[in-house]
Chain A
Amino acid sequence: MKPVIGLEIHIQLKTQTKMFCSCANAWEAEPNSKTCPICLGLPGAIPTINKLAVDLVVKTSQALNCAINNHSFFERKNYFYPDLPKGFQISQHRKPIGINGYLELGNAKKINITDVHLEEDTGKSMHTDEGTLLDFNKCGIPLMEIVSGPELESAEEAVEYSKKIYQLVRWLEVSECDMEKGQMRLELNISLRPEGSTDLPSYKVEVKNINSFKFLKNAIDYEIKRQTEIFDKGEKPTQENRGFDDVKGKTVSQREKEEAHDYRYFPEPDLPPLRLETKPLTEILPQEAFKKLLEKFKLPMAMAEQLTREKSVYQFFEKLIEEGMGPVGAGNIIINKPSVLQEDPKIINQKSKIKNQNLIKDDTIINNIVEKVLASNPKVVADYKAGKEETVKFLMGQVMKESKGQADPQLASQKLQELLKQ
Chain B
Amino acid sequence: MELCDLTVLQAKERLEKGEITSVDLVSSCFERIEKVEKALNSFILLRKEEALGEAQEIDKARKSGKSLGSLAGIPYAAKDIFCTEGIETTAGSNILKGFIPPYESTVTKRLKEAGAILIGKTNCDAFAHGSSGENSDFGPTKNPYNPQYVPGGSSSGSGSSVAAGECLFATGTDTGSSIRLPAGFCNVVGLKPTYGLVSRYGVISMASSLDCPGVITRDIKDQALVLSVISGEDELDANTKGAKNIKNRGSDPFQGSDPNLKIGLPKEYFAKGIDPEVKEAIMQAAKFYENLGFKVKEISLPHTEYGVAAYYLICHSEVSSNLARNDGVRFSFSDRSGSDYQSVYFNSRSRGFGAEAKRRIMLGTYVLSAGYYEAYYERAARVRRLIKEDFDKAFDPKVNDVDVILTPVSPTPPFKLGEKVNDPLQMYLSDILLVGVNLSGIAGLSVPCGFTKSALPIGMQLIGPRFSDELLLEVGYQYEKEHQWIERKPEL
Contact = CB atoms under 8 A, between A and B. Distances in A.
Direct contact of A and B (CB under 8 A): yes
A80 interface: yes
Interface string B187-227: 00000000000001111110111000000000000000000
A78 B324 contact: yes
Interface in B9-42: none
A82 B370 contact: no
Contact of A43 (B236, B326, B329, B373): B326
Contacts, number: 107
B238 A48 contact: yes
A36 B102 CA distance: 9
A42 B101 contact: yes
| Max chain B Cβ within 10 angstroms of own Cβ: one of A44, A48, A85, A269 | A44
A264 B201 contact: no
B236 A48 contact: yes
Contacts of A76: 321
A134 interface: yes
Return the 6 tightest CB-CB contacts between A and B, nearest first: A87-B324, A264-B368, A269-B208, A269-B209, A43-B204, A44-B202
Contact of B321 (A36, A42, A43, A78): A78
Nearest to B367: A264
B368 A42 contact: no
| Max chain B Cβ within 10 angstroms of own Cβ: one of A36, A46, A82, A134 | A46
Contacts of B368: 78, 264-266
Nearest to A41: B325
Interface in B45-102: 82-83, 89, 91, 96, 99, 101-102
B44 to A, nearest CB: 15
B315 to A, nearest CB: 11
A44 B209 contact: no
Interface in B327-384: 327, 329-331, 341-342, 345, 365, 368-370, 373, 377
Contacts of A49: 238
A86 interface: yes
A88 B361 CA distance: 14
A43 B324 contact: no
A214 to B, nearest CB: 32
Contacts of A44: 82-83, 101, 105, 200-205
A45 B239 contact: no
B469 interface: no
B325 A43 contact: yes
Nearest to B235: A48
A85 B330 contact: yes
A37 interface: yes
A82 B329 contact: yes
A271 interface: yes
B288 interface: no
A45 B370 contact: no
A35 B101 CA distance: 14
B318 interface: yes
A295 interface: no
Interface in A300-343: none
Interface residues of B, number: 45
A397 interface: no
B280 interface: no
Interface in A20-45: 36-37, 40-45
B473 to A, nearest CB: 27
A42 B331 contact: yes
Given A43-B101, A78-B368, A257-B342, A270 B330 contact: no
Interface in A237-277: 257, 262, 264-266, 269-272
Interface in A37-90: 37, 40-49, 76, 78, 80, 82, 85-88
Given A42-B103, A44-B83, A46-B236, A80 B201 contact: no
Given A43-B91, A82-B329, A262 B369 contact: yes
Given A46-B236, A262-B369, A270-B208, A80 B324 contact: yes
A364 interface: no
A42 B331 CA distance: 8
A43 B208 contact: no
Contacts of A87: 321, 323-325, 327
Contacts of B96: 43
B237 A46 contact: yes
B325 A85 contact: yes
A357 interface: no
13 contacts: A37-B103, A42-B101, A43-B99, A43-B331, A44-B105, A44-B201, A46-B205, A48-B237, A82-B329, A82-B341, A87-B323, A87-B327, A88-B324
B317 interface: yes
A45 B202 contact: yes
B178 to A, nearest CB: 16
A86 B321 CA distance: 8
A44 B80 CA distance: 12
Interface in B271-288: none
A230 to B, nearest CB: 29
A358 interface: no
A405 B154 CA distance: 86
Given A86-B324, A88-B321, A271-B238, A46 B200 contact: yes
B370 A264 contact: yes
A269 B83 contact: no
Contacts of B202: 37, 44-45
A265 B327 CA distance: 20
B235 A264 contact: no
A197 interface: no
Nearest to A36: B103
B103 A269 contact: no
B94 to A, nearest CB: 14
A134 B330 CA distance: 9
B5 to A, nearest CB: 32
